[in-house]
Amino acid sequence: MQYQASENSPSRQICDCIVVGIYEKRSLNTAAAIMDKSSRSALSQLARKNDLPAALGEATVLRKLAGVKAARVLVVGLGKKTEFGLAELEKATTSAVQAITKTGAKSVAFYLAENGGDFSDIRQVVFRTVVAAHKALYRFDQMKSKPSKNPSRIKKLILGCADAAACEEARNEFAAADALSQGIALARDLGNLPANVCTPDYLADEARRIGRDHKSVTTKIMGRKDLEKFGMGAFISVTQGAQRPPRLIQLHYRGGAKTDAPVALVGKGITFDTGGISLKPPPGMDEMKFDMCGAAAVLGTMQALAKMQLPINVVGIIPACENMPSGTATRPGDIVTTMDGKTVEILNTDAEGRLILCDALCYAKTFKPSTIIDIATLTGACVIALGDHYSGLMSPHDELASELLTAGVTAGDLAWRMPVAEHYVKNLKSNFADFANVGGRPAGAITAACYLWQFVKDQNWAHLDIAGSAWESGSNKGATGRPVGLLIRYLMNKGQQ
């Protein structure tokens, strides 16, 4: 997609479609008011007759509006004026793009952001608009014999700006916003692929592709013998029932000084989760292809930051395997030894994510990172606690937690902090090993995080449980690409320090 920043009046803007907004109580936004004057009050007359939308996200296309050069004007509802901010801008943009794709428009100009308030930072307006547009245009057609009936025709996105200075600032942000959008799309594609295609080797190949495309990224792929060499007994235990071999995938992005400690991103890569011997019930099991969305988020983030050339060092680590039942699969009650020598009694083989992650976290420590963040579709308990609106954030480190929460708010990729504390660790008590891999139903998302905490107590560490936010179910079933936006914003902020 091409991008352009323009300080032209919306009435004089030449393109296939202009997007303006209307608030509740028939109040036109600034751009719509300008067009209303050019069209001899055509918009305000329609508003008085309730022929224009006002509820947030509703949209109406008008053709050949008098006094306006664009062939179409799309009026989108902005909701209450006092509540219109970046989140509402993103929703309105998404709705507008969805409506535009049903027309023949190829170039679209957006005039939704007002001056001041949340919109005083043009960079945020650019990111929210571009990312929302790409999300609305996203299609997953790779596995279909025929493409979608309504393929995107939008080739050019124009952002209306208040003045030349704002235009220049916007132009400087388009490439980064596009890179983030592509990173989110990559994470969505990987999540949406079926498990017979997106295998551990497929994820490894995707990492290699990122390395080939970007000189700043190097990769290394490790197999079962390497896992055995490093004593990753917990990781190996999960792979024992699967025929496809496991992979420990590494991506090293070097954008900072050689002496700068990297940020480590560790993504859970269970390419399909049957639950192992602790077999899951059949309903909804197809969605367990999404159990590698933590890995997908790391790959999407690594690609985006390489395209953006952020001045920071990052290492991405992905333990990838399948969790399958067979005669060689790990059994409930088995005890394994992790990379750092701790022993774990496996009471439930469906709590496998924490088993592969604990060894991956131990391995991440070998790179002496400044921070470790793991990303995982870890617990159904987090879905019960937070639904699909927020990712669960657990960290004993207040500063890191605050940085991640702020990044999520800025990116519109929200997280909610949950506690990590010693009194939860007692739930993991085992009579036969150092601890068990599950702690019962109470506080299930928290005890899972506390399990991981045992392996990174000397680290600046945070855990993101994305079991609720990584994909949608129902008629809109599909991966969301979260939390790539949150991670990129966090890394952008770190790179500016």
**What pLDDT, in 10s, does the model give residues 227-239?**
999 999 999 999 9
Mean pLDDT for 18-28 is 94
Which residues does 26 contact at the CB level (< 8 Å), separation at least 6?
44, 47, 48, 52, 54
pLDDT at 211 over 70: yes
pLDDT at 299 over 80: yes
Annotation marks residue 441 as catalytic = no
2-184 and 194-495 have identical folds: no
Q: If we measure between CA atoms, which residue out of 76, 78, 79, 84 comes closest to residue 100?
A: 76
Render pLDDT for 41-53 as a digit per residue (tens, 0 to 9).
Answer: 999 999 999 999 8
Q: If we measure between CA atoms, which residue out of 238, 418, 241, 225 comes closest to residue 324?
A: 241
pLDDT of residue 304: 98
Name the residue with tokens 């320090």.
497
Mean pLDDT for 3-10 is 95
pLDDT of residue 486: 98
Could you tell me the residue ranges of all domains in the chain? 2-184, 194-495
Which has the minimum average pLDDT: 4-18, 143-157, 301-315, 460-474? 143-157
pLDDT of residue 381: 97
pLDDT at 117 over 70: no
Q: Which 3 state secondary structure label does DSSP give 394?
A: strand
Q: What whole-number distance in Å separates Cα of residue 233 and Cα of residue 335?
A: 9
pTM of the model: 0.96
Torsion of CA 309, 312, 313, 314, to 10 degrees: -80
> Right CATH number for 2-184 from 3.40.220.10, 3.60.15.10, 1.25.40.390, 3.40.50.460?
3.40.220.10
Please tell me which residue in 220, 280, 365, 417 is annotated as part of the active site.
280
**What's the pLDDT band for 116 if we cut at 50, 70, 90?**
low
Q: If we measure between CA atoms, which residue out of 51, 49, 77, 50 comes closest to residue 62?
A: 51
> Right CATH number for 194-495 from 3.40.640.10, 3.40.630.10, 3.40.309.10, 3.40.50.2000?
3.40.630.10
pLDDT of residue 347: 98
Q: If we measure between CA atoms, which residue out of 472, 187, 160 comes closest to residue 303?
A: 187
Mean pLDDT for 108-129 is 89
pLDDT at 296 over 90: yes
Annotation marks residue 280 as catalytic = yes
| Residues forming beta bridges with residue 63, ordered by sequence position | 72
Please tell me which residue in 91, 244, 268, 354 is annotated as part of the active site.
354
Q: Which 3 state secondary structure label does DSSP give 358?
A: helix
**What's the pLDDT band for 363 if we cut at 50, 70, 90?**
very high
Q: What are phi and psi of 396, to 5 degrees?
A: -80, 0
pLDDT at 178 over 90: yes
pLDDT at 150 over 70: no
Q: What whole-number distance in Å separates Cα of residue 152 and Cα of residue 160?
A: 21
CB atoms within 10 A of CB 228: 12
Render pLDDT for 313-331 as a digit per residue (tens, 0 to 9).
Answer: 999 999 999 999 999 999 9
- Contact status, residue 460 vs residue 370, Cβ threshold 8 Å: yes
Q: What whole-number distance in Å separates Cα of residue 262 and Cα of residue 73?
A: 48
How is the chain split among helix, strand and coil, in percent rounded to 5?
Answer: 40, 20, 40
Q: What whole-number distance in Å separates Cα of residue 455 and Cα of residue 342?
A: 9
User: What is the percent of the chain where pLDDT is above 90?
Assistant: 93
| Residues forming beta bridges with residue 332, ordered by sequence position | none
- Mean pLDDT of all residues in the chain? 96
**What's the pLDDT band for 151 if we cut at 50, 70, 90?**
low
pLDDT of residue 496: 85
Q: What whole-number distance in Å separates Cα of residue 152 and Cα of residue 150?
A: 6
Mean pLDDT for 31-40 is 95
**What's the pLDDT band for 146 if we cut at 50, 70, 90?**
confident
Which residues does 455 contact at the CB level (< 8 Å), separation at least 6?
338, 340, 342, 358, 361, 362
Q: What whole-number distance in Å separates Cα of residue 109 and Cα of residue 19?
A: 6
CB atoms within 10 A of CB 264: 28
Q: If we measure between CA atoms, which residue out of 351, 355, 326 comes closest to residue 444?
A: 351
Which residues does 191 contact at the CB level (< 8 Å), separation at least 6?
289, 290, 292, 293, 296, 470, 471, 478, 479, 480, 481
Q: Are strands 415-418 and 391-394 parallel, antiparallel or unpaired?
A: parallel
| Residues forming beta bridges with residue 418, ordered by sequence position | 394
Q: Which 3 state secondary structure label does DSSP give 328?
A: coil
CB atoms within 10 A of CB 409: 15
pLDDT of residue 115: 73
Q: If we measure between CA atoms, which residue out of 7, 3, 2, 14 comes closest to residue 166?
A: 7
User: What is the percent of the chain where pLDDT is above 70?
Assistant: 99
Q: What is the Cα gyration radius of the chain?
A: 24
Render pLDDT for 365-422 as a digit per residue (tens, 0 to 9).
Answer: 999 999 999 999 999 999 999 999 999 999 999 999 999 999 999 999 999 999 999 9
Tell the burial category of 164 from Cβ atoms under 10 Å away from its Cβ (0-12, 13-18, 19+): exposed
Mean pLDDT for 119-131 is 93
- Contact status, residue 470 vs residue 401, Cβ threshold 8 Å: no
pLDDT of residue 263: 98
**Amino acid in the structure at residue 480:** T
pLDDT at 152 over 70: no
pLDDT at 306 over 90: yes
Region at 244 (left for phi over 0; alpha for psi -120 to 50; beta for the rest): beta
